[in-house]
């Protein structure tokens, strides 16, 4: 049985003059693959080898089933969406790929590529967060405005943006799949990078679930608040001791435990004792 030609290869044979036409916006046509350049605003940066191998096999057998979205440039075209399909088509040896032309600004290119990747669930959390950050910076819209434009819950966008406060090494763990989105959110809620690193190491070493990591994070926050209050109280007691020392002209200690405590006034001679008693009485 003769092998069926892959889709996307033989359209020019059916429509001989198709290649000579200048495609208008919204028009579908078969574009020479070498005339397409990648999207510099592509939010997806990670393309796993296993996924690409699987897609290359599919493209060789069936061609490109969903057209790429491109914009017209002075020379050739620039991808807006469909970079993984374009890469697979190159590796599969296709000479032409189906495209649809659409005029788009750099910001619109980013937005369209982001929407496609979100719908396909192709982005890791860090890539998605970086794309949201760039859109917020480029467009000047609020998180609420961005959520309406993308059809994404505002709290989900806010949670992703918080991940960008994590250290580069922890972000890499998220990208590599060592830490889940849930783990990353727990770590982002800790104040210091050292606290984040300590808990991150514990998660990886002990294989902690998100719920277990949350419990440890809550305990650490409580301890931190307790330490802060203790430090504040120690500072206040020390300031009172210093004030009494200046007033009495001798060493003074104030010790407090709960609501009770004691004040210790030091003297170093009988004359100093008499002086202090006179001041106090």
Q: For the chain, how big is the Rg over CA atoms in Å?
A: 33
Report, as an integer, the average pLDDT of 90-116.
82
pLDDT reported for residue 173: 93
Which residue in 37, 46, 83, 108 is the catalytic one? 83
The topology under which CATH files domain 1-104 is 3.90.1530
pLDDT tens for 19-32 read 444 555 556 788 89
pLDDT reported for residue 75: 84
Q: Say which range, 67-71, 150-154, 236-240, has the weakest mean pLDDT.
A: 236-240
Residue 197's nearest CA partner among 170, 224, 215 is: 170
Q: Say which range, 48-57, 86-95, 110-119, 140-149, has the weakest mean pLDDT.
A: 110-119
Please tell me the distance from the alpha carbon of residue 140 to that of residue 163, in angstroms, as a whole number. Answer: 20
- The whole model's pTM is what? 0.54
CATH 3.90.1530.30 residue ranges of the chain are 1-104
- What lies within 8 Å, CB to CB, of 68 at 6+ separation is 31, 36, 79, 81, 82, 85, 86, 97, 98, 99, 100
pLDDT tens for 166-218 read 999 999 999 888 999 999 999 998 888 888 998 999 999 889 899 999 988 88
pLDDT reported for residue 52: 78
Report, as an integer, the average pLDDT of 128-142.
84
pLDDT tens for 56-75 read 888 888 888 888 888 888 88
Report, as an integer, the average pLDDT of 221-239.
68
Is 83 designated active site? yes
Residue 141 has pLDDT above 70, yes or no: yes
């Amino acid at each position: 049985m003769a092998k069926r030609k892959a889709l996307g290869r033989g359209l020019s044979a059916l429509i001989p003059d198709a290649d000579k036409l200048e495609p208008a916006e919204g028009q579908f046509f078969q574009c020479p693959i070498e005339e397409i350049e990648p999207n510099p605003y592509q939010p997806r940066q990670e393309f796993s080898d296993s996924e690409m191998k699987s897609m290359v096999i599919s493209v060789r057998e069936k061609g490109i089933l969903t057209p790429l979205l491109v914009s017209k440039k002075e020379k050739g075209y620039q991808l807006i969406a469909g970079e993984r399909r374009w890469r697979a088509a190159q590796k599969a040896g296709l000479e032409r790929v189906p495209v649809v032309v659409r005029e788009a600004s750099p910001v619109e290119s980013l937005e369209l590529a982001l929407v496609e990747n979100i719908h396909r669930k192709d982005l890791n959390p860090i890539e998605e967060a970086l794309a949201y950050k760039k859109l917020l910076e480029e467009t000047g819209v609020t998180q609420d405005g961005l959520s309406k434009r993308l059809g994404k819950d505002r709290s989900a966008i806010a949670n992703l943006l918080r991940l960008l406060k994590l250290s580069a090494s922890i972000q890499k763990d998220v990208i590599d799949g060592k830490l889940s989105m849930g783990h990353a959110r727990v770590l982002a809620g800790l104040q210091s990078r050292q606290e984040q690193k300590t808990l991150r190491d514990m998660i990886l070493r002990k294989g902690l679930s998100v719920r277990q990591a949350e419990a440890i994070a809550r305990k650490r926050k409580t301890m931190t608040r307790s330490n802060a209050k203790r430090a504040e109280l120690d500072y206040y007691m020390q300031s009172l001791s210093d004030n009494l020392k200046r007033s009495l002209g001798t060493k003074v200690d104030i010790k407090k435990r709960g609501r009770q405590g004691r004040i210790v006034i030091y003297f170093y001679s009988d004359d100093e004792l008499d002086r202090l008693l006179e001041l106090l009485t």
